[in-house]
Structure 1
């Protein structure tokens, strides 16, 4: 494509191409529109403010489709579906035994799992979420391993190279992973950084159990974390559509339906 000198025309074309392609790297944008990297970055920064795209690692961008789950700050969603999430948390905690090493990603459901784990003794919890580590910090029966990294203020999760370096050194028995979307294609989340650290935690875990309330079922978020075949189980309050339940069974992943007390 020839160089587009007018900023508005260039940004409109970038947005149109992103909608068609789904995502583009920074270098693709530079070469396609004949602009400098600095100009491309400024264009993407301004387009991101519109809420129609999200920046990706490496400087590129991904188009935000209407059906994709938006990122909701922890404080905003903390009280939503509280009883359902508590039921999920109790079910997850029932799978934990003395001597276990448990992994917890960030999220409102995993935060409640951490609260339930305070009733356990002689376990270790590995997490990249600052609020989860603080919740467990006063329990002498639980050893807490908190990764380093850059704090994402919407989720309280630590991400990036420092977090990933810590994860490489640990071994986890069971990881409970909070997610934003659950479909036949797998589990997904809004943040690319959180998706990356979740994948690394999965690699260090003997088994991974996705935990999510019923509003996540049938919805996809921006970044894929894992396929259903990579999960060992799911805990939700349901109901689970027959097609998704079958997909889980075909992937040999256990389905735990939490019962509301």
Structure 2
């Protein structure tokens, strides 16, 4: 009998769904949690925790690593949307402020399933009236009660960990639309190309790019140090790239050498 089998069974009385919700919360809040810690805290065996982590990983909520689980993105894992929303918030806000003047009243604007573009969403009511098209749940929630905003939510297969609609049905929903401007982000930029961790995401983003007359890429400087599995498009496929002031000179020079139009957002000025 192994050490795992000698541990006590679940004495908490929690159902698997409730226990997995607690595991998700701990991983997102802490960034990384060890399997033995979770077993002790929840009163279950480490084997039970491993099964729970497999279940949550299969649904995109977290990533199993040696000895535990993490919410940090990787080449094959996009990261839980709550964890992503908490990262690089000052940089995302700077990018959003730089992008806002590009939105004109009366336009049809597409916002993709990125937390960088979500920062722009919170400012859009300043330029109403607008039509906003999105497949991202947080964008829909942010704009649901905004006066002057006509909101079009794209359907499809719902991915809870992304809080977004993705897949072929979403692509079909996009095909019938024509919009002025797309504000999108990407998981990683490598050798002048944008990458993502899922084919479903790539398919929808390509459809959104095809549906818009102007395509604007919003990226913070950390995207140039990440990796993704599936290639979306070259950065040159976007009409403008907006980056935060933290972008290294080498990355900025590489973009401009490729002929990419780049706007570096200004940092927020301290209030007097």
Task: Count the aligned residue pairs.
Answer: 203
CA contact under 8 A between 1:184 and 1:247: conserved in structure 2?
no
The CA deviation string for residues 169-212 of structure 1, in whole angstroms up to 9 with x for no partner, is 11111101121101233111122111110000001111211111
Report the TM-score when normalising by structure 1: 0.71
Matched, 1:229 2:236: yes
Cα deviation, 1:121-159, whole Å, max 9, x if unaligned, reads 111111111221121111121111111111111221101
Match for residue 114 of structure 2?
Answer: 107
Give the 5 Å matches for 1:18-97. Answer: 68=75, 70-97=77-104
Matched-pair contact (CA < 8 Å) for 1:184–1:228: no
Please, what TM-score do these two structures have when normalized by structure 2? 0.68
CA gap of 1:184–1:203, structure 2 versus 1, over 3 A, is same
Which whole-Å deviations, capped at 9, do the CAs of 1:101-139 have from their partners, x for residues lacking one?
111111211111111112221111111112211211111
Residue 260 of structure 1 is matched in structure 2 by 267
In 1: Cα distance, 2:86 partner to 2:64 partner: 25
2: distance between equivalents of 1:147 and 1:67?
27
Instruction: Show the counterpart of 2:210.
Output: 203
Equivalent residue of 1:88, what SS? helix
The equivalent residue for 1:182 is 189
Partner Cα distance (1:67, 1:158) in 2: 21
**Residues 216 and 238 of structure 1: CA distance in aligned 2, closer, same or farther (over 3 Å):** farther
Unaligned runs of 5+ in 2: 1-53, 66-72
SS at match of 2:231: strand
Instruction: Please give the alpha-carbon distance, in whole angstroms, between the structure 1 residues aligned to 2:83 and 2:149.
Output: 28
Decide whether the 8 Å contact of 1:174 with 1:205 is kept in 2.
Answer: yes
Alignment-derived partner of residue 21 in structure 1: none
Structure 1 residue runs of 5 or longer lacking an equivalent are 1-44, 53-65
Instruction: Tell me the residue number matched to 1:191.
Output: 198
Contact 2:109 2:183 in 1 (8 A): yes
Match of 2:105 in 1: 98
Structure 2 counterpart of 1:149, from 148, 156, 163: 156
Pick closer, same or farther for the CA change 1:77–1:120 going to 2, 3 Å: same
Two-structure CA RMSD over aligned residues (Å): 2.4
Counterparts of 1:4-19 in structure 2, within 5 Å, are none
